[in-house]
Amino acid sequence: MGFRDMPGPVRVFWGMVAWAVILWLFTLGNPSFIPVAKFLFIVLVLPNGLAEWLKDKGIINNSTSIYARIILMIGAGFVWYFYYR
């Protein structure tokens, strides 16, 4: 079973795992990169994964997915700013 043959939620999960591993590898040699990696994962990766999952479930459609992504990124930005900064 190839990556393209997997169901949507499984692809979203593996995509997020891949981003987590990539960001983790970048922080191994440079601990000062950890806040940037947290920002990238919390504000960019998680909201996009959530929006893609909602699109796969049929809760949002293609025309509203970009707005949902932007709203989720803004919300995640507030969460990161007030809790992880």
Determine the pLDDT at residue 1.
Answer: 57
Per-residue model confidence as pLDDT tens digits over 25-50:
989 988 889 898 899 999 999 999 99
Question: Which two structure tokens, joined as six digits, stand for 64?
Answer: 């509203």
Q: Evaluate if residue 54 carries a pLDDT over 60.
A: yes
Global confidence as pTM: 0.82
CA angle 80, 60, 36 (to 5 degrees): 20
Q: How far is CA 58 from the centre of its chain?
A: 19
For the chain, the first-to-last Cα distance in angstroms comes to 40
- In the block, which residue shows the tokens 């709203």? 71
Determine the pLDDT at residue 45.
Answer: 93
The rounded distance, in Å, linking the Cα atoms of 77 and 85 is 10
